[in-house]
């Protein structure tokens, strides 16, 4: 089975090429998905640093962990639904337990695989990995942010999981925008509702909030690009001046960003009301990604309607 080839929007090749130029001992492992992972440019420039492991995701992760013990910095790129779920044991024991600097790019997350169906929709990957000790989870909103997030891996202690889309995400950040692992980015401040989003839903969240603010409402937006470690201070600061915290994610509302934010609010006795928006604990439907985003209210109109419900 061949997944669609990424347009060069997520820029993973650029990041690996630049990291290699800076002296990192990069090795790329992929279960026959170098092209669909957007890494063909890196493979062409550094063919000696690429291992095509075939369709054997679990072996791929274990091989990466072994290579990390030799001083190399392995990057694994594959479908998020398989890397996060099928390889959960290998990530837990071979990578995270041993605290190896393995960087995992799970692409085609959420509903972005469309017609491939629920077996390929990665709507549980955050929940599956968030409870594993030593794991860091990052969900970039666009290609420029993914590049910055990958560059931020330099000298980072321990494993990283990057949850990315399919290279069709509209631009939110300009090239060169700063990125700090574990530090959220506030786009707007609101007293009525603060939206905390990650990944694909960030762009439509900003659009919806901009429209509502023009009508006189006060809606804030925070990019919680790092789900673990969560920026607790950003959550509590938003809760201190907003009546409602609305989390928006292309993921099951159980176990993901909304659950992480709920834990922070509950543990700190926040008076703000929390609403979690995403996939309502169900197996997703099959269809074009755009139609699925509309169905699950993860597009601009859908997110706007959810915010209006809270404003009412």
Active site residues: 57
From 173, 162, 158, 151, select the one nearest 95 (Cα to Cα): 158
In sequence order, what E strands does 109-242 have? 136-138, 160-163, 185-188, 193-197, 219-223, 226-228
Which structure tokens are listed for 152? 């931020």
Residue 66 contacts by C-beta under 8 Å, 6 or more apart in sequence?
94
In sequence order, what E strands does the chain have? 26-30, 50-52, 73-79, 103-107, 136-138, 160-163, 185-188, 193-197, 219-223, 226-228, 244-252, 273-279
Distance CA 169, CA 178 (A): 19
Paired sense of beta strands 136-138 and 160-163, if any:
parallel
Which structure tokens are listed for 6? 């990424």
């Amino acid at each position: 089975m061949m997944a669609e080839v990424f347009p060069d929007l997520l820029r993973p090749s650029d990041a690996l090429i630049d990291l290699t130029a800076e002296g990192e001992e990069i090795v790329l492992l992929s279960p026959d998905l170098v092209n669909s992972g957007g890494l063909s440019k890196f493979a062409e420039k550094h063919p000696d640093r690429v291992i095509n492991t075939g369709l054997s995701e679990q072996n791929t992760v274990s091989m990466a962990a072994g290579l990390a013990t030799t001083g190399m910095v392995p990057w694994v790129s594959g479908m998020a639904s398989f890397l996060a779920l099928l390889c959960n044991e290998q990530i837990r024991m071979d990578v995270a337990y041993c605290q190896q600097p393995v960087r995992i790019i799970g692409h085609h997350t959420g509903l972005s695989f469309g017609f491939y169906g629920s077996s390929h929709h990665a709507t549980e990957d955050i929940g599956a990995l968030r409870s594993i000790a030593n794991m860091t989870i990052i969900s970039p909103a666009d290609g420029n942010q993914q590049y910055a997030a990958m560059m931020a891996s330099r000298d980072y202690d321990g494993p990283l999981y990057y949850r990315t889309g399919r290279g069709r995400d509209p631009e939110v950040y300009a090239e060169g925008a700063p990125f700090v692992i574990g530090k959220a980015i506030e786009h707007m401040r609101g007293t009525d509702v603060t939206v905390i989003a990650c990944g694909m839903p960030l762009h439509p969240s900003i659009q919806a909030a901009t429209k509502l603010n023009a009508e006189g409402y006060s809606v804030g937006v925070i990019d919680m690009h790092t789900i673990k470690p969560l920026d607790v201070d950003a959550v509590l600061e938003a809760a201190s001046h907003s009546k409602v915290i609305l989390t928006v994610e292309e993921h099951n509302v159980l176990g993901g960003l909304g659950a992480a934010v709920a834990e922070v609010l509950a543990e700190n006795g926040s008076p703000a009301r929390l609403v979690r928006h995403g996939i309502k604990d169900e197996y997703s439907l099959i269809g074009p990604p755009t139609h699925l985003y509309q169905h699950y209210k993860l597009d601009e109109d859908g997110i706007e309607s959810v915010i209006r419900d809270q404003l009412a």
